[in-house]
Amino acid sequence: MRAHRLALSAALAAVLSLAACSEEKSAEAPPAANGQTAEPAPAEKPALETAKEGLDKLKEAAQQAARDLQPTIDKAREGAQNLAEQGKQALDDAGPALERAGQVARQVGQSIEDIMKKARTDFDTAVADLQKRIDAASGTDAPPTGDPAATLPASDRLKADTRAAARARPAGIGPAYVGVWAVDAAACAKVDVESLEMFAVITPTTIRRYESVCNFAAKEPTDGTATVDASCIAEGDAEERQISFTQADENRLSISTPGAEGSAELIRCHLPQ
């Protein structure tokens, strides 16, 4: 637009200059010789009229240029609108991921080491509290049921949570899923003394499995199943899980994660008599 204005100004100046020169030449023309009257010069258009015609032509040219450019302008505007819509859609699509990233950032505001330390402290506290409840329980522990061969190693070879979990059910403490579980009697004999991938040590509020420990709120089963929301440390990572405990009877347990395929069926292990 600025260029068009400069062009118009230049054109007007040129037209006015030409008009002025024309009038000056007319004024300076010498009188006719021998007293003869000079013939009048051909009539010229007034300078302002000439300038107006020039301006009209320039205006028409500018308008035509604008009409020629309009399709390009429309396409550019349409492209800008499409980019804006795509950018908004990208942000909308990323919304859940960004929100989750914010939650994770808040969750791990502390270092992983601090989170793991707290999880371990919560785990140990829960086991100690369970042991106190067992020690305070009156009466004689119920005799073990299930496979009599499914015995654990000697108590002095077991971890604190294993001893507490194995004693809790016979003492009548905690939901039915509480106990020490393995795939068979031979695996029960290896708990805490040999490497096992398929086993579980479960107190009312904790579960320890191969390379993972979790804390959760105790929950009584409904129709043989209890699903808990657990905070876990698994292979050095902190994560939230749902864990389901399903029992066909007192001595059989399946552990699964809702939405994941498969579950492990385990049998109850008990302390040696």
Encode pLDDT of 86-143 as tens digits: 545 544 444 444 444 444 444 545 566 676 677 778 888 888 888 888 888 756 667 7
Could you tell me the CA-to-CA distances from 168 to 50, 122, 163 in Å, in that order? 111, 19, 9
54 lies in the same domain as 187: no
Q: How far apart are CA 50 and CA 58, in angstroms?
A: 13
Residue 135 pLDDT:
80
Residue 86 pLDDT:
55
Q: Is 249's pLDDT higher than 80?
A: yes
215 lies in the same domain as 122: yes
Q: Evaluate whether residue 156 is within a structural domain.
A: yes
Q: Evaluate whether residue 147 is within a structural domain.
A: yes
Using the structure block, give the residue that is written with the tokens 């009257």: 37
Residue 126 pLDDT:
81
189 lies in the same domain as 263: yes
Q: How far apart are CA 98 and CA 233, in angstroms?
A: 23
119 lies in the same domain as 54: no
Q: Evaluate whether residue 53 is within a structural domain.
A: yes
117 lies in the same domain as 238: yes
Of these ranges, 23-32, 67-76, 199-208, the one predicted with the greatest mean pLDDT is: 199-208
Q: Evaluate whether residue 208 is within a structural domain.
A: yes
Point out the least confidently predicted range of 43-52, 143-152, 237-246: 43-52
Task: Tally the domains of the chain.
Answer: 2
129 lies in the same domain as 225: yes
Q: Evaluate whether residue 154 is within a structural domain.
A: yes
The range of the structural domain enclosing residue 1 comes to 1-18+47-60
Task: Compare 131 and 255 and report the one with higher pLDDT.
Answer: 255
Q: Is 79's pLDDT higher than 70?
A: no
